[in-house]
């Protein structure tokens, strides 16, 4: 793809997410499930570049960051997952939907540089789609408010509205309805994406809703008070048993983390990624190094975004002018 006007593009780094709490309450008539879900953003990033194309063409190019296989090693690089074809990419669908809703005749050249693994329960595709909406809104001069973008986002995917804010938040419905933003402490975590991924639809298809729902309030209280051991104890993911029935890697991850000295651990989203909560960033680096040596997948040590009263989590504040110099290099400030 020819990247139009590369020196006049907008660029944003978009984080992954972790589900600290995911309870499945009921199966809905529309085929989805009613859930209660606490999500936090985590410092694992993709980069999205967006340049206006006055011809009206909408093009997207997506690739893993260059040098990733060398940086991670073969065993970890194999756990990245498969990238979708351009017009199956959620970024393309989100930007095209916004263009239709706004009646825009302009196009765009979009380049997505991936570091968040695919089919991993980390929300990479959803976050990228949200970034596409934010950059298109800015580059095309629409200046739509966040609430209006959220309505478009919810039409594309359940997790996308979360990434338009990136604050710790509780979502309900099929996961697209913001119930409330919550105060929550930062967490040092280790995240592992095993060599095989899982399809969200397959995992939900095997999941049985809770007969007695796990309460969310104890986790929210622990997070508000910064009680890390209690946060780890109160985490839950109703999808994990279903995922374990589909992939032996979920039980393998559980066994690895049980021996890791983490405060607590579980699968995120519909998998297959698994994470552990650590005492601090040093503890996370030490555990990540130990797990990395086992060759069980792609390993990250990262930090979750705490509640931001000053709005520093707002992804709009991370948009910069920059230029594309290669799939791992970004011009402009971050």
Residue 77 has pLDDT above 60, yes or no: no
Name the residue range of residue 320's domain: 7-181+309-327
Residue 84 has pLDDT above 50, yes or no: yes
- The answer to whether residue 334 sits within a structural domain is no
DSSP string over 263-282: SEEEE-TTSS-EEEEESSHH
Instruction: Give the bridge partners for 302, in sequence order.
Output: 189
Residues 37 and 166 in one domain: yes
Q: Given the residues 17, 53, 114, 128, select the one marked as catalytic.
A: 17
Residues 197 and 143 in one domain: no
- The answer to whether residue 1 sits within a structural domain is no
Q: Is there a contact between 192 and 42 (Cβ–Cβ < 8 Å)? A: no
Q: Given the residues 46, 53, 128, 159, select the one marked as catalytic.
A: 159
Q: So what's the pLDDT on residue 32?
A: 87
pTM for this predicted structure: 0.92
Mark whether 159 is an active-site residue.
Answer: yes
78 pLDDT band (50/70/90 cuts)?
low
Residues 106 and 120 in one domain: yes
63/7 Cα distance (integer angstroms)? 20
By mean pLDDT, which of 6-15, 93-102, 186-195, 231-240 is the weakest? 6-15
Residues 50 and 158 in one domain: yes
Mark whether 57 is an active-site residue.
Answer: no
Residues 201 and 105 in one domain: no
Positions of E strands within 54-145: 58-64, 107-114
């Amino acid at each position: 793809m020819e990247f139009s006007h590369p020196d006049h593009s907008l660029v944003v780094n978009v984080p992954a997410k972790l589900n600290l709490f995911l309870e499945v309450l009921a199966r809905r008539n529309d085929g989805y499930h009613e859930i209660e879900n606490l999500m936090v953003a985590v410092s694992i990033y993709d980069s999205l570049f967006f340049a206006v194309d006055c011809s009206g063409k909408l093009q997207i190019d997506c690739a893993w960051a260059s040098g990733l296989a060398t940086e991670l090693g073969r065993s970890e690089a194999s756990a990245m997952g498969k990238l979708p074809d351009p017009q199956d990419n959620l970024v393309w669908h989100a930007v095209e939907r916004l263009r239709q809703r706004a009646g825009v005749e302009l196009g765009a050249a979009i380049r997505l540089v991936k570091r968040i693994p695919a089919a991993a329960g980390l929300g990479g595709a959803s976050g990228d789609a949200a970034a596409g909406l934010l950059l298109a809104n800015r580059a095309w001069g629409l200046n739509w408010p966040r609430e209006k973008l959220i309505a478009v986002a919810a039409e594309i995917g359940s997790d996308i509205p979360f990434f338009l804010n990136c604050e710790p938040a509780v979502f309900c419905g099929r996961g697209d309805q913001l119930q409330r933003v919550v105060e929550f402490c930062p967490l040092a975590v280790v995240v592992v994406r095993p060599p095989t991924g899982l399809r969200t639809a397959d995992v939900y298809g095997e999941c049985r809703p809770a007969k007695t729902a796990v309460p969310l309030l104890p986790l929210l209280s622990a997070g508000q008070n910064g009680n890390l051991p209690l946060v780890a104890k109160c985490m839950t993911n109703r999808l994990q048993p279903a995922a374990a029935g589909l992939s032996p890697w979920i039980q393998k991850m559980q066994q690895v983390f049980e021996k890791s000295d983490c405060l607590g651990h579980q699968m995120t989203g519909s998998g297959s990624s698994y994470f552990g909560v650590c005492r601090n960033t040093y503890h996370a680096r030490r555990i990540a190094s130990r797990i990395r040596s086992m060759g069980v997948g792609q390993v990250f040590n990262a930090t979750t975004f705490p509640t931001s009263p000053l709005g520093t989590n707002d992804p709009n504040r991370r948009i910069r002018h920059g230029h594309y110099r290669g799939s791992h290099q970004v011009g402009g400030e971050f």
